[in-house]
Structure 1
Amino acid sequence: MEIFSTNNDLHAYLTDLILPVHLRGHGAQITQEIMSGYNTPGISLAILPPTKSAEEYSKTNLLTSTFGIRDCSDSQSSVDAETTFQAASISKPFTALAVLRLVVQGKLNLDTDIEEYLALDKNHAVVREELHTSTTVNPATVPRTPITLRLLLAHRSGLSTVSGLAGYYGKWAAIPSTSATINGDPEANNLPIRAFTFPGLGTSYSGGGTTVVQHILTLVTGKSFPVLMRELVLEPLGMSRSTYEQPIPGSGPRFNYAKAHHNAHTGYTGGTECIIYPEMAAAGLWTTPSDILKGLRVVFDCLSGTTDSSFLPPALVAESFTELNGFGGFGIGWMSETIHTDSSSGTGTGKRRVMLGHGGSNQGFRCGLVLVGDIPLVGSTVPVANATPPVGIAWMSNSDHGPQLASGIVAAFGWLVGAPLRLGGLKLGGPPAAQRFFPVLIRTPADRATVDKQTEGWRAWKGRWRMKAGADVALYGPRVDLEIEEDDGMPTMRISVLADPKARAVLLPAAFHHPEAIVWVVRDMDVAVAMKKEDNLEIWQNDEAYEAERD
């Protein structure tokens, strides 16, 4: 399949993809009215396109595309590839990279109890025993379990009384210190960051735990968090448009930043143009899609053994990309999910095809980062033998509703590269979070052949269907009948609850890769039909999957 090779190619593809179906192919452009239909002022994207060989990959640059505006009150404030956004929780895996760099330098150990590092603070602002004490964990009656950096970065430390962080309006002087945030002091707007469960027992997402990591990094290095992150991570990775400074500097080239919005027409206000996140390790990174994808690419390339970067040893990178204990979805900072495993090449040389990345959600910003590539199985050698070059996509929006647009774009890119990419969590199968389904673009004979191959056999689902008990009540009422027929070689579907129950909705092939289903878009509706194996039919709507059975 042919794929775009220039920024103009990418922009043209995304333009047609985003446009309503009736406007495609007529030279229409993405206006703010169309962006308003997705409820977001602006979006910026970067992709790492697929390549066929290591040599081709080494010569391939990221591609970028942007749409919309930085500020809904200024129609001239166009988003460009240099516009910075708040990366929200994508800040976390890059914070993990700083920890790994200090591990290599011998200044940190992933498996040492953090008491050793907290003791560097002679003022004892954060006390290890207090972290382990809460209404749900009493150290007097349970054994003391080590809290380590590895557990903190894999969200398995148990310090999850504070999962997410709200940020602050107002002046910097009113912002609490890191230790005040950890202890939940009066100037902080969160509860104390304390044990919710025992360390190591399971995954419990914790922005609070990452804030403890922030405190440790400043103690060990003796530097402010923005400075240490710039020196240890951002500059070595070439992330020149990135900073952990809070608030973002108000002058110079970095002033090209997107403002926070609730929706396409409503910006956040309250004395500042953007909400401040002093919990910088967890949520404070300002960056661009190309910077974060570039950074992840450099780290991933350490696995090849051929990169000029000496950023991290290959074995440590492989460890960071591997789910802790094979469970929970997190390695050392990164979300990781296996697509398939290949151990056929012999002992010590196995590999896994994985999705790596992270999502982000701050007030007024939503973003995502996904890279698909081959990493070694636990115990296998590095570099990976016969690795397929990675592909990836990063997106950033300045609206709480950004996923309405981004989810369809991510799914469409996954369709192009044959990988089940998703928005948000990296869970295989099922509908993507914040659904927005796009019909595929058939631009070449190869595209047509790919669509025909992926939709082959759909006629086996023709006939009458009924939503299963429970699902239909949740959707529309006591009963929903469906009927799939064929018109001019394409499927149509009658839906009993539409205004005209005899009308037939047209189904179009969806730009959404699912390894075990034929997925269709109901034309002009944010609804998809998944024809799954074993004669199973699902309707995807509003982030839910509703099953149907033969009637």
Structure 2
Amino acid sequence: MSSRRLFLAGGMAALRPRRASAQEDPVLADHLRALMVQHRVPAASVALIRNGALAERVTPGADPDTLFQAASISKVVAGQVILHLVDRGDIDLDRPVNDVLRSWKLPGTQAAAVTPRLLLGHRAGTNVPGFPGYMGGAPLPDLRQILDGASPANTPAVRVEWEPGRAFRYSGGGTMVLQQLAIDVARRTFAALAADLVLKPAAMSRSSFAQPLPRSESNAASAHDLEGRPLPGKFHVYPELAAAGLWSSATDLARLALAISASWRDGAMLSRPLARTMAHRLADGPSGLGIFVQPQSGRAPLLYHYGVNAGFRSVLTFVADGSFGLALMTNGEGGRALIPAFCGGIFAANGQGSVPPID
């Protein structure tokens, strides 16, 4: 019998709610360790949410404070930054971004139709789906060089290549436009905005957009390939902060989910109406505003985002009302197979619906 079938057959009862404080569940830990061996993942960290609180943490090969690259889950934080600026009246979701951008303009013949709402929902027609990162010690581009595709940037210039609003096209490049918009509107660095508007209010004390990490940070996971071999230089550096630059822990990502859920229920970091708008799909695409949305009949929607950086795979998924959720971070390419296998068992054990699509 496979490890997953053993887990489902013998471990479900042990994984149902029974504790008020976040502790390590031995059944959960054993199942995760088995998957880590199977998929050659050296370290993983998971935090479970039940009934609006952090319920359990399991961190084989790491500890609760170990940092992992959150990769594209960075976009969830970036989305919260933008929506906070919307809430306070600094950004209009439907005003063309080129009307507001000061230090740079989005190129493309149809760029005048691009709005923050379309960028948050990956419907702006912008290019550059993702970023490969840079080897440690390599020259790093600044934001303008990233947007213009100028050396030493290793990705093309961000521009509008398809009709805005027409279709969902995942675009990390579009998220970098939002980073520039936040900076131009607030006249502060993106890292400072994210810290003050999201990380601190959500009590994400182990999270930052430090790229590269300071030498003083000694508790960060190293990246590994599909065979479990460490990547040269420990990990890549991602100066594309809003799209891929967040360092975090599973516990902190769970705290982010709880803060977003509090907004959805009652208004917290965001006003309740805007949080409800965020958690509603745009047109026929899978995304709301800065986060993916899976509607659930008769209950709050499931919100989620995956993260893929070189040698790191992660997922954050939670019911919008905070009744259930999990953050799972891994430091190996084998996380691509580990994550859906682990999530499938946890979702089933907790009476949840289907697991959201995970890259």
What TM-score do the two structures reach when normalised by structure 2? 0.90
The one-letter code of the counterpart of 1:402 is G
C-alpha deviation, 1:208, in angstroms: 0.6
Q: Is 1:330 equivalent to 2:287 in the alignment? A: yes
Of residues 233-242 and 144-153 in structure 1, the stretch that sits farther from structure 2 once superposed is 144-153
The one-letter code of the counterpart of 2:83 is L
Q: Contact 1:358–1:424 at 8 Å: present in 2 too?
A: no
From 138, 156, 171, the counterpart of 1:191: 156
Counterparts of 1:128-527 in structure 2, within 5 Å, are: 128=106, 131-132=107-108, 139=109, 145-160=112-127, 162-171=128-137, 174-251=139-216, 254-263=217-226, 265-269=228-232, 272-305=233-266, 310-325=268-283, 327-340=284-297, 342=298, 352-373=299-320, 390-422=323-355, 424-425=357-358
C-alpha deviation, 1:156, in angstroms: 0.3
Equivalent residue of 1:370, what SS? strand
C-alpha deviation, 1:112, in angstroms: 0.7
Q: Contact 2:262–2:268 at 8 Å: present in 1 too?
A: no
What TM-score do the two structures reach when normalised by structure 1? 0.59
Q: Contact 1:41–1:264 at 8 Å: present in 2 too?
A: no
Identify unmatched segments of 5+ residues in structure 2: 1-12
The one-letter code of the counterpart of 1:331 is G
Q: Distance in 1 between matches of 2:354 and 2:307?
A: 16
C-alpha deviation, 1:178, in angstroms: 1.0
Q: Contact 2:223–2:234 at 8 Å: present in 1 too?
A: yes
Superposed CA deviations along residues 74-102 of structure 1, whole A, max 9, x for unmatched, are xxxxx001101000000001101001111
C-alpha deviation, 1:424, in angstroms: 4.3
Superposed CA deviations along residues 412-448 of structure 1, whole A, max 9, x for unmatched, are 11101222342644xxxxxxx6xxxxxxxxxxxxxxx
C-alpha deviation, 1:262, in angstroms: 0.8
Q: Contact 2:191–2:209 at 8 Å: present in 1 too?
A: yes
Q: Distance in 1 between matches of 2:331 and 2:318?
A: 22
Equivalent residue of 1:358, what SS? strand
Q: Contact 2:314–2:330 at 8 Å: present in 1 too?
A: yes
Superposed CA deviations along residues 466-500 of structure 1, whole A, max 9, x for unmatched, are xxxxxxxxxxxxxxxxxxxxxxxxxxxxxxxxxxx
Q: Contact 2:98–2:111 at 8 Å: present in 1 too?
A: no
Identify unmatched segments of 5+ residues in structure 1: 19-29, 52-56, 69-78, 133-138, 343-351, 375-388, 426-432, 434-551
Superposed CA deviations along residues 49-70 of structure 1, whole A, max 9, x for unmatched, are 2x4xxxxx4xx433100112xx
Q: Contact 1:406–1:423 at 8 Å: present in 2 too?
A: no
Question: Higher Cα Rg: structure 1 or 2?
Answer: 1
Q: Distance in 2 between matches of 1:171 and 1:144?
A: 35
Of residues 224-233 and 79-88 in structure 1, the stretch that sits farther from structure 2 once superposed is 224-233
Q: Which has the higher strand share?
A: 1
CA distance change for structure 1 residues 239 and 9 in 2, over 3 Å: closer, same or farther?
closer
Greater relative CO, 1 or 2 (CA 8 Å, sep 6+):
2
Q: Distance in 2 between matches of 1:159 and 1:418?
A: 38
Q: Distance in 2 between matches of 1:250 and 1:394?
A: 26
Q: Contact 1:411–1:420 at 8 Å: present in 2 too?
A: no
C-alpha deviation, 1:127, in angstroms: 2.7
Equivalent residue of 1:61, what SS? strand
Q: Contact 2:22–2:55 at 8 Å: present in 1 too?
A: no
Q: For residue 127 of structure 1, what is the aligned residue in structure 2?
A: 105
Equivalent residue of 2:113, what SS? coil
C-alpha deviation, 1:290, in angstroms: 1.2
The one-letter code of the counterpart of 1:81 is P
The alignment yields a C-alpha RMSD, in angstroms, of 2.2
Identity among equivalent pairs (%): 31
The one-letter code of the counterpart of 1:17 is H
The one-letter code of the counterpart of 2:209 is Y
